[in-house]
Amino acid sequence: MHKLSFACVALAGLFVTGPASAQKPDAQTISVYSYGFTPKLIHLVAGRPVTLTFVNTSGSGHDFTAKEFFAASRITAGAAPKGEIDLKHGETKSITLVPVAGKYPTHCSHFLHASFGMTGVIAVN
C-alpha cells in the first residue's frame, strides 16, 4: 500500500513541477519616450527566456522596431507584427521570447524619430 502511495506522489510531482527545461523568464523594462529609448543598449542572454515590457511615457505614439531581432527570436507570448511593438501614448505592451545570439539594431520607425535619437541596440550573448 505504501509503495502505491509513494508512486502516486512521485508521479503527481512530475505534473506539478513541469519539465526541467521550463524556465521562468527574465524581465526587462524598456522606456519609450520622445525621442529615445532607455536603455539604449539592451543586454540579453541567448536561449534564456525574457519578457520585454515596453512603456511609452510620452504624450504621443511611438514604436520599437527590431525586425531582425524579432524574426530570429522564438516568441512565446505577445506579438511583434512586422518586427514592431506599436505603442499609443501612455501604453504598455509586453512580449516574451527566447532570443538568439547576435547584435540587433532598434529604432522608432515614425517619421524622423530615429534621426532625433530613437535608436538603440539589442546585444544577445
Residue 82, domain member (yes or no): yes
The rounded distance, in Å, linking the Cα atoms of 45 and 24 is 14
pLDDT given at position 79: 98
Mean pLDDT value across residues 6-31: 63
Residue 16 lies in a domain: no
CA–chain centroid gap for 13, Å, is 30
Q: Is 72 helix (H, G, I), strand (E, B) or coil?
A: helix
Residue 109 in any domain: the answer is yes
The span from the CA of 119 to the CA of 4, in Å, is: 61
**Which amino acid is it at 20?**
A
In a domain, 107, yes or no: yes
Q: In degrees rounded to 5, what are phi and psi of residue 58? A: -95, 170
With cell 532598434, the residue in question is 106
Q: Tell me whether residue 8 is in a domain.
A: no
Rounded mean pLDDT, 107-112: 96
Query: What is the separation of C-alpha 4 from the centre of its chain, rounded to a whole number of angstroms?
Result: 44
Give the pLDDT score at 23.
73
Q: Is the pLDDT of residue 12 over 70?
A: no
97 occurs within a structural domain: yes
pLDDT of residue 2: 53
Which CATH number does the domain housing residue 86 bear? Answer: 2.60.40.420
The answer to whether 76 and 36 have CB atoms below 8 angstroms apart is no
The per-type count for the chain, helices as H runs and strands as E runs, is: 2, 10
pLDDT digits (tens, 9 = 90+) for 63-104: 999 999 999 999 999 999 999 999 999 999 999 999 999 999
Question: Count of domains in the chain?
Answer: 1
Q: What is the pLDDT of residues 32-60, one digit of tens each?
A: 999 999 999 999 999 999 999 999 999 99
pLDDT at 20: 39
Domain that holds residue 99: 25-124
